[in-house]
Homo-oligomer: A and B are copies of this chain.
Amino acid sequence: MGKGASTRLAVLEVATEIAARRGLAGLTIGTLAESAGLSKSGLFAHFGSKEELQLATVGHARDRFVNEVLLPALAQPRGEPRLRTFFERWLVACRDGMPAGCVYLSAKPEFDDQPGRVRDQLASDYRDLLDSIGQMVQAGIAEGQFRADADPAQFAQELDGIVLAFFFAYRLLRDPATETRARRAFDAALDRIRAT
């Protein structure tokens, strides 16, 4: 990996962290440059525009999410173990402030009615996320673990809601009980699709 590429990666690592805390709009070139130890212009040369920087940051966050949440889940046996691993990893990622998931959560409200490439990327990644969950459910149905009439998209949306509620409540209220409630909600949602 050349010097440029490694610098770029280091910058993106910092960028994801900032974006997770301050939001994608709050990710400013000046502050990012300072945090990354580069000059504004030096950093800017790597991306060319703010939009490109935002896109790259979202992409980096996505990669981290895939590596730290999705892939470990896919390494588990299909059905409930896979789904549970996915949920568990996603949950602790949110709790511990892993930039990946949080970037999306912070970014979505900012861009949800502000057309552009960033919004398109967020929407596309979000769809992928929900699809991934749906496919895990589908696999569980094929395995006979889940009811044949279970609705994968329904479960995906419910799971997303469980994590979202946990994220907001935990981040804002700092109440550890929210984590327990999230797990309980997950178990309940799973119960409803489990084969009798």
* Bitwise interface map of A from 96 to 118 toward B, beta carbon under 8 Å scored 1, else 0: 00000010011011101110000
Q: Counting CB contacts under 8 A, is A190 at the interface? A: no
Asked whether A161 and B185 contact (CB < 8 A) given A110-B22, A171-B113, the answer is yes
* Per-residue interface assignment for chain A, residues 143 to 177, with 1 indicating a CB less than 8 Å from any chain B CB and 0 otherwise: 00000000101100110111111101101110001
By the criterion CB–CB under 8 Å, are B23 and A23 in contact?
yes
A157 touches B172 (CB 8 A): no
Which chain B residues lie closer than 8 Å to A21 at the CB level? 113-114
**Across the interface, do B168 and A162 meet the contact criterion of CB distance under 8 Å?**
no
A158-B165, A160-B165 in contact; A153/B177 too (CB < 8 A)? yes
Which A1-52 residues have a C-beta within 8 angstroms of B? Answer: 21-23, 25-26
Mark the stretch among A59-67, A71-79, A82-90, A119-127 that contacts chain B. Answer: A119-127
A166 touches B157 (CB 8 A): yes
B160 touching A168, Cβ below 8 Å: yes
Asked if residues B172 and A108 are in contact (CB atoms below 8 Å), the reply is yes
Q: Please judge, given known A-B contacts A122-B172, A188-B192, whether A109 and B105 are in contact too, CB under 8 Å.
A: yes
- 11 more contacts with CB within 8 A, not counting A21-B114, A157-B182, are A23-B25, A26-B110, A108-B171, A109-B171, A123-B173, A153-B181, A157-B165, A157-B169, A158-B162, A158-B188, A164-B168
